[in-house]
Structure 1
Amino acid sequence: MLPGRKEIKDLFEGLLGREIAITDGLPVDIGIPKPVVASYVDDYGHLRAVAVMSFGLAARSGAALALIPKGAVEAAEEDRVLPPNLFENAYEICNVLAAPFGDAMGEHLRLADAYPPSSPVPANLLSIAAQVAAREDVDLEITGYGTGSLSLVVAA
């Protein structure tokens, strides 16, 4: 019911045009700095899945997508503020993640919303993100930009 690591790796490599190393990870921490949280719904509008992208992965993948120098990532991490351009790029990555989620679940899913680190996240999404079952937690190392974490969780 979850995309495999190969699909995750292929998606990030295809979007970013960089080699990605994918390894076991821990659930993304929803503390400070806050992550990007995305929700996915089916064609009936039912919540089906949640993705949690660590602040570091959002900044790194957002920068890599637009070929923004790594210094922008370092500045964002130091300030603990994800600039709008990096969030917009992370949002687009979350949007594209709907396809492998839907393929794995055997239904069409679409991105309902993605919340930047500066915005409150609905409690029901945080509850799903904390579930122990039906989840995949990985670390992604983006060549030239560094490592960040991703958690994919099926809504029970």
Structure 2
Amino acid sequence: MKGLKKQRRIQIIAVAVVALALSTALIGYALRDGINFFRSPTQVTETPPGPNETFRIGGLVEEGSLIVNEDEQIAFNVTDGNAVVAVTYTGILPDLFKEGEGMVGTGKYINGVFQASEILAKHDETYMPVEVIDALKEQGVYQAPNGADS
């Protein structure tokens, strides 16, 4: 009788291990497209990602680079003060999107151009995404707005 209990216990543990491994694999498979890594323009130019990799890029919209066509085709450059990456986007830009201001875009880097599927801009006078601030600080070009703690 003791042998049967021991065998049953081993079978239950084996089934639990297989179920855990299977559920971990399914969760990883489901999240593979939902994880977007952040990169600064310097990181993108130094180590360009593959054309099928979706990621986020952030920095400041370069002054004088914003071009908006009538058919909602938008082109501009994003910079971290060290490197510049060309960005294209089709759609309507957020109301607070301006040259010289912070932005974060999600998309793919194809043939030297970041093709954005989503563009986010700051939401008030002092906000800038943490990733953008960190990247700008790394380059030594970040200046905190007046009255803002950083």
- Higher percent of residues as helix: 1
TM-score (norm 2): 0.25
**Greater relative CO, 1 or 2 (CA 8 Å, sep 6+):** 1
Q: Which structure has the larger Rg? A: 2
TM-score (norm 1): 0.25
